[in-house]
Amino acid sequence: MHSDNAAAVDATTFWEDRYGDAGPIWSGRMNPALADALPRLGGGAGARALDLGCGEGGDAIGLASAGWQVTAVDISGRALVRASRAAVTAGVDERIAWVRADLSTWTTGASFDLVSACFLHSPVAFPRVEVLQRAASLVAPGGHLLVVGHAHMPPWADEHAHDVHLPSASEQVAELALDEASWDVLVAEDRPRLATGPDGSEVSIDDAVVLARRR
Ligand SMILES: C[S@@+](CC[C@H](N)C(=O)[O-])C[C@H]1O[C@@H](n2cnc3c(N)ncnc32)[C@H](O)[C@@H]1O
């Protein structure tokens, strides 16, 4: 997601403003596509997960609660403060390393049994494909890559957002360009989900869900 109206704003400023001073902007719960995939991801003691664009920590906290050691990265310090507080409340903060970084340039020498990127969209300039390809390189043999995006914007998104093409699941697979000799694509599906709009109404929107396993 990238729209010209926001292009002039740098990513840190945009996201710090988006999180604002008020309360949470996300549900605090694990994303349904991750919850759905969880039973097939292995996990168990010592399993390592990387959550890219972790926001207020719903996925990271859910993974830590399921026993994963999580590294959770986001550009927004405000989001990470909320996420860390929620993790303390949930009693899992010790299992999560919160990293404030710009994923446009961030990388690590570590590898992970799960790399998850849920709704890693940004209306400001963001090399999403490059970031996701780099993320795939961080998956350990036998580990999984989960990418979940909006296949289209919900009706309540601002009008500029609707001008932006969002990749379907099959387009995300093409963008990832995973080496067929090393990866099995287990799921590539535009999956309907009921979402609640700002006025409380429920609308079905499609998530583009890709789950791949490194051999
Ligand atoms: C749409 S939110 C999704 C948050 C969370 N994954 C979820 O599903 O609730 C996108 C997140 O990506 C983060 N983000 C956007 N651009 C980023 C960047 N360049 N580096 C790191 N994080 C970024 C934002 O701060 C925000 O928390």
For residue 27, name the pLDDT band (cuts at 50, 70, 90). Answer: confident
Q: Please state, in angstroms and as integers, the Cα–Cα distance from residue 13 to each residue in 49, 67, 97, 120, following that order.
A: 27, 34, 23, 17
Q: Please state, in angstroms and as integers, the Cα–Cα distance from residue 95 to each residue in 11, 21, 43, 46, 65, following that order.
A: 28, 27, 13, 10, 9
Cα 151 to chain centroid distance, Å, stands at 14
**Which residues are CB-contacts of 158 (< 8 A; sequence separation ≥ 6)?**
none
Region 46-65: mean pLDDT is 97
Q: In whole angstroms, give the CA distance from residue 95 to residue 65.
A: 9
Instruction: Give 43 Cα–ligand 1 centroid separation in angstroms.
Output: 24
Structure tokens at 46: 């010592």
Instruction: Give 203 Cα–ligand 1 centroid separation in angstroms.
Output: 23
| pLDDT at 40 exceeding the cut of 90 | yes
Q: In whole angstroms, give the CA distance from residue 149 to residue 151.
A: 6
Structure tokens at 91: 């009693």
Q: Please give the full DSSP string across 4-42, using - where no structure is assigned.
A: GGGTTS-HHHHHHHHH-SSS-SS-SSPPHHHHHHGGGS-
**Which residues are CB-contacts of 113 (< 8 A; sequence separation ≥ 6)?**
41, 42, 43, 47, 48, 49, 68, 139, 140, 142, 143, 144
Residue nearest to atom 10 of ligand 1 (CA): 120
| pLDDT at 91 exceeding the cut of 50 | yes
Closest alpha carbon to 42 in 125, 128, 114:
114
Structure tokens at 192: 């309907």
| pLDDT at 9 exceeding the cut of 90 | no
pLDDT digits (tens, 9 = 90+) for 164-208: 789 999 999 999 999 999 999 999 999 999 988 878 888 999 999
Q: In whole angstroms, give the CA distance from residue 187 to residue 199.
A: 32
For residue 4, name the pLDDT band (cuts at 50, 70, 90). Answer: very low
Query: Hey, what amino acid is at 104?
Result: S
Pocket of ligand 1 (CB under 6 A): 11, 15, 26, 31, 53-55, 58, 73-76, 79, 102-104, 118-122, 126
pLDDT digits (tens, 9 = 90+) for 141-168: 999 999 999 998 888 877 667 777 899 9
By most ligand atoms within 8 Å of CB, the mutation choice from 70, 103, 129, 147 for ligand 1 is 103
Residue nearest to atom 16 of ligand 1 (CA): 122
pLDDT of residue 45: 79
* pTM exceeding the 0.85 threshold for the entire prediction: yes
